[in-house]
Amino acid sequence: DAGVTQSPTHLIKTRGQQVTLRCSPISGHKSVSWYQQVLGQGPQFIFQYYEKEERGRGNFPDRFSARQFPNYSSELNVNALLLGDSALYLCASSPMGQGNQPQHFGDGTRLSIL
Amino acid sequence: AQSVSQHNHHVILSEAASLELGCNYSYGGTVNLFWYVQYPGQHLQLLLKYFSGDPLVKGIKGFEAEFIKSKFSFNLRKPSVQWSDTAEYFCAVSRSGGSYIPTFGRGTSLIVHP
């Protein structure tokens, strides 16, 4: 079975631009979460979506937004990019998004801001 | 807000040595606890988890962890490490019930020399 897939794998943008990252969850998983991982740190929670509705939001500015589609895939959008947005963006899926369900992670999108 | 502390940022061991990685969290309520591992070039994957019951949980590849509620700790152990255990290890905590907002520690980099 295919795991969580993310695209693109790498992306280079300049300050002020906008970016869209994509994620397809494991088949049968209805919940998708997004994380930001800065070098040397653990993943930091950005959003969780379940059944197309936002279920949780981390401490990120409004420049970050996301949505989930009827097929449970998801997009993360970041507007007005800053140098500090350079990071690995991880997508994870779980069957129902409950706290006792482990996350299944993708390989991530490496975003570099110049 | 909950927080997770991993005290050992870098650990270097020789093969056959014993391993213990510390993890402490700050939340006083009921929690779900996880250890994730990221092998070089691979995505994050679940090593083991604790929700309730026996506080000593066993995971894959000979790893185990013990939940000590009074110490707010969930330390990871392995009696004899192998070169293939070289990886980044992350402790994560989520609250039981309510919205799911997981918190990860900053990770411990383990290098095992053959």
**Using the beta-carbon criterion (under 8 Å), do A43 and B90 form an inter-chain contact?**
yes
Domains in chain B, number: 1
Burial A75-96 (b: 16+ CB within 10 A, else e): bbebeebeeebbbebbbbbbee
Q: Using CB atoms, which residue from A42, A99, A106 is nearest to B104?
A: A42
Is residue B100 scored above 80 in pLDDT? no
Structure confidence by residue, pLDDT tens digits, A35-82: 999 988 999 999 999 999 998 899 999 999 999 999 999 999 999 999
Is residue A84 scored above 60 in pLDDT? yes
Residue A1 confidence class, pLDDT cut points 50, 70, 90: low
Give the whole-angstrom CA distance, residue A93 versus residue A111: 20
Residue whose pair of structure tokens reads 């006792």 in the numeric block: A100
Is residue B26 scored above 60 in pLDDT? yes
Instruction: Work out how many CB contacts closer than 8 A connect A with B.
Output: 66
Q: Nearest to residue B99, comparing CAs of A80, A98, A33, A82?
A: A98
Average pLDDT over chain B, rounded to whole? 92
Give the whole-angstrom CA distance, residue A33 versus residue B100: 10
Average pLDDT over chain A, rounded to whole? 94
Whole-angstrom CA distances from A88 to A6, A24, B60 are: 11, 17, 26
Residue A2 at interface with chain B, using a CB cutoff of 8 Å: no
Domain encompassing residue B40: 4-113
CATH number at residue B105: 2.60.40.10
